Structure formats: structure tokens, C-alpha cells
Structure 1
Amino acid sequence: MKASDSPAGTARYKFRVRFRIEPSLAEVSVDPAEFETTLYRSADPPGEAGWLFFRDHLWRGDLGDETYLQEVAEDALGVPVVSVSFSELQTDQAYLDALRNEIGGQLDEFRAETVDEALKKYLGSSIHVVSRGE
């Protein structure tokens, strides 16, 4: 999945996913049967539909409901997912500024007194600001 590109900048969520290959033929086997990969989900522009993904699915940098996100990853990848974990929000400075601005306009929604408190509450310390070339 590619990162969203908008006037608000670019961002994507990074997840570690462990999945399993299950051959459909009895005479076929695989070794290893489990693999780990990185899954990226585009972050919707702040204020647009879907932008609250982090608030709805993360808590202090961890998944709020791993089972649900395993199902989402299985649907996206088409393989049984054994585990999924959140790694980070990869963002450029423009997206982070727009995100901070949007959160600041509705701190009550985040039950926080400051933008920093809101970001830490949901993303923990898992925000990685990248330059356009990274």
C-alpha cells in the first residue's frame, strides 16, 4: 500500500505481520510455513474520512484489538495471519503538522488537554518523521 499524498503531506502506518502458508494439496508441504513481512496502510489526510484510524485502533503504540486487525490483514493479504503488531506512523512534516492542527481543533474527542498528550495516548512514541527521499 502506498502512502497517501495530499496537500496535508504524506503518511502511512507500518505493521509487522506474521502469516502462514497452508497448501491446499495433501501431498504438498512447505518449510517454513510461517513468514514475517511488513504491511503498510495509507494514512488518510487529517480531517477526511478514515483519518481517525490511529484513535480507533491503537492505544499507546499498540493495537487495541489484535484479533480484528488480524482479520483485516487476512482480507488484505489473502493468507492466514498468525499475528500483527503496529510498528510506527511514518509521516512527513507537512502531514504531522496537519495532523497536529486537526487534533488541536478537537482535543475533547481525544480526551486530552494537549496535542502531544493525544498523540502519545494513541501512537505512543511510534511516530517517525521521514523526508521525501526516504
Structure 2
Amino acid sequence: MDTTDGLTSLQPTDPDGATARYVFRIEVGLEPDADGLWTDPDRVETTLYRAADDPGTAGWLFFRDTLWRGELADEPHFRRLVEDELGCPVVSASFSELRTDESYLDALKAEIADDLAPFNADSVREVLGKYLGSSVHVE
């Protein structure tokens, strides 16, 4: 597992023009530094997004290489990556879904269909089920 790339793989590549994004649920712990200060609640839930790279371009295999089988599947490690990126304590972090439009999903399916061997699968449907399960949301 290459831990040096995990942080970079969390950073969006094109936040303004992205038609697809990975969605993560995170819970951030609030810890005031000054004596006599506290927060209530001391945790806040929020959503973290990472733009999905266009199929066939660098980074497009994020769902295969980093998400389920890679370093983000290790929740404590994923929390540390998010903590480093956000600069605050992260209590929990988990993948929620790939949110996309029909055009991106069609392009993703076509790219997968071009070469099924790296996915160790017999069909595009099997690949999507294996790596994303029912976590694809088409808008």
C-alpha cells in the first residue's frame, strides 16, 4: 500500500467541472485550545467530496485502487489522511457513494468494458458491483 499517494488521491482534481464525485461521510471532533472553552456537541457530521477523474485519465481507477481494496478501506488510516488534510480531529470517516450523471456512468462503463482483465471480472456489472456495490447514485 502506497501511503504517500493517499493524501493526493483525496484532493479533487477538478471541483468546478466535475460531473462525478466520491462522497464520504465524516465526523469531526471539536477540541477548543483555550482553557474554559468547550463545544456542545463536541462532534459535527459533514460530507467530504472528491471529484472523480474522467474515465481513462490518470486517477480514474481510484474506486478500484484506493477506495475498497486500498488505503481508504482501512478506516483508521483513512481518518488520519482526512485529519491531515483538514487539520482537525476526525472521529469517523466512511465512503458513502459515487454520485454521477448518466454521461459519466456511461463513459465509466465503456472504459471498464474495454479491458475487464484488471478487474478480475467477467462483466461491467460485476465490476461495478464488486467495487462500488449499490453505492452509485445517478442524478
TM-score scaled by length of structure 1: 0.84
Indicate which of 66, 70, 87 corresponds to 2:79: 70
The structure in which a higher percent of residues are helix is 2
Q: Which runs of 4+ in 1 moved over 4 A?
A: 1-4
Is 1:127 the counterpart of 2:139? The answer is: no
The residue identity in structure 1 corresponding to 2:67 is: L
The structure in which a higher percent of residues are strand is 1
CA distance in 2, matches of 1:115, 1:55: 13
CA distance in 2, matches of 1:88, 1:95: 14
Report what 2:52 is aligned to: 43
Report what 2:9 is aligned to: none
1:44 alignment partner, SS class: coil
The structural deviation recorded for 1:3 is 4.7
Give the unaligned 5+ runs of structure 2. 1-11
Indicate which of 75, 78, 96 corresponds to 1:87: 96
Cα deviation per residue 1:34-73 (whole Å; 9 max; x = unaligned)?
110011111011111111111123339xx52212221222
Report what 1:15 is aligned to: 24
Is 1:5 the counterpart of 2:17? The answer is: yes
TM-score scaled by length of structure 2: 0.81
CA RMSD of aligned residues (A): 2.0
Tell me how many residue pairs correspond in the alignment. Answer: 125
Determine if contact 1:14/1:38 at 8 Å carries over to the other structure.
yes
Indicate which of 38, 49, 66 corresponds to 1:29: 38
**Identical-residue share of aligned pairs (%):** 56
1:58 alignment partner, SS class: helix
